Structure 1
Amino acid sequence: MSEGIDPSVLTDDDLLRELADLYDTRLAAMRHAADQAFADHTRRMYRLEAEYVRRRPSREVDPLRLHSGA
């Protein structure tokens, strides 16, 4: 299976769109995809998320999303 376009070459808008598309299909992939298709979906999601975090190392973090003692 193709792993899609390398996340590092996507524009910010394209990266966010790709992430939104993956999140829209995540539950269906988890519930109904073959094991390999779900693994591919997971790998793509991780690559896109890692690129997002790489681009925004100082992104705003909501204090309500932190675990106690973090």
Structure 2
Amino acid sequence: MTGVDPGRLDDQQLMKELETIHRTRHDTLLYASNDALRAHNERMAQLEGEYLRRNPRRLVSAGRTREGARERGCGETSTPGEPEV
């Protein structure tokens, strides 16, 4: 494993790690070696898994569910309070 075990990070450190890995995702996908992409995938899964473990009742926007997407129908790309995609 690369990096600190996510379970040992405090909440602020975990969020910073998540922000960093999400920010670097696109360039890693486009330009990194297969080994680097694989390591990135593994680390992202570890960090996201830890976030979900700590926040099992996190706020879920209705528009980010299947039912919410069906209710939006064609033409709308976001729900109130969410940025347009």
Task: Give TM-score, length-normalised by structure 1.
Answer: 0.92
Paired residue for 1:50? 49
> How far did 1:53 drift?
0.3
Structure 1 segments (4+ residues) deviating >2 Å: none
Give 1:3 shift.
1.4
Question: Pairwise CA RMSD of aligned residues?
Answer: 1.2
Q: Gaps (5+ residues) in structure 2? A: 69-85
Q: Hey, what does 1:41 align to over in structure 2? A: 40
> Aligned residues: percent identity?
38
CA displacement 1:34-55 (0-9 Å, x = unmatched): 0010000010000000000000
TM-score, length-scaled by structure 2: 0.77
Aligned length, in residue pairs = 68
Provide the C-alpha distance between the structure 2 equivalents of 1:17 and 1:32, rounded to a whole number of angstroms. Answer: 23
Structure with larger Rg: 2
Uncovered stretches (5+) of structure 1, i.e. residues with no partner = none
